Amino acid sequence: MWREIIAEFPSAESSGPATQASLSRVEAALGLILPDEIRSFLLESNGLLDEYGTDVIWPAERILSDNVAFRGDEQYRSLYMPFDSLVFFGDSGGGDQFAFVCQPPRREVFVWDHETDGRNLVSPGLESYVRSALGSDGEDWYR
């Protein structure tokens, strides 16, 4: 399914699939179960770039490293609300990060505004998010 959607956007760049083992490492390290949509996406394509090189969806390894960094950074802890209920999986290229809420589990996509610490709903699901991000012509479509 995901490969067909990506193919609708010829300038998008995707990768080969992630392994089950890499997704299990992400889940174990973060202490959560990845939402079904991001899991199925990563099993088809381990990351997605738009035509400008922005990471619409990060590879599993970056999902792990960035989420560990966000959760463990003392400066972030003093500046922002906790990130433990979120799993970040992509970014805008300008500092804002896209995430699923995992506690309690939700299928909608949210954006974390790095300037205000706002967490706002931007899409009803991953498919809509991917289509909006890839069809945006580089604009901040989520604002």
Q: Where in the chain are the domains?
A: 2-134
Question: 16-42: string of b/e by CB count within 10 Å (b at 16+)?
Answer: ebbeeebbeebbeebebebbebbbebb
Output the average pLDDT for the chain.
95
- pLDDT exceeds cutoff 70 at 134: yes
Least confident of 45-49, 60-64, 133-137: 133-137
> Using CA atoms, how far apart are residues 92 and 133, in angstroms rounded to an integer?
9
Average pLDDT, integer, range 55-78: 95
Instruction: Name the packing angle between helices 36-44 and 126-134 (round to 10°).
Output: 50
pTM: 0.93
In this structure, whether the domain defined by 2-134 belongs to CATH 3.90.850.10 is answered with no
- pLDDT exceeds cutoff 70 at 138: no
Query: What confidence category does residue 97 fall into, taking pLDDT thresholds of 50, 70 and 90?
Result: very high
Query: What confidence category does residue 136 fall into, taking pLDDT thresholds of 50, 70 and 90?
Result: confident
Average pLDDT, integer, range 11-38: 96
pLDDT given at position 103: 86
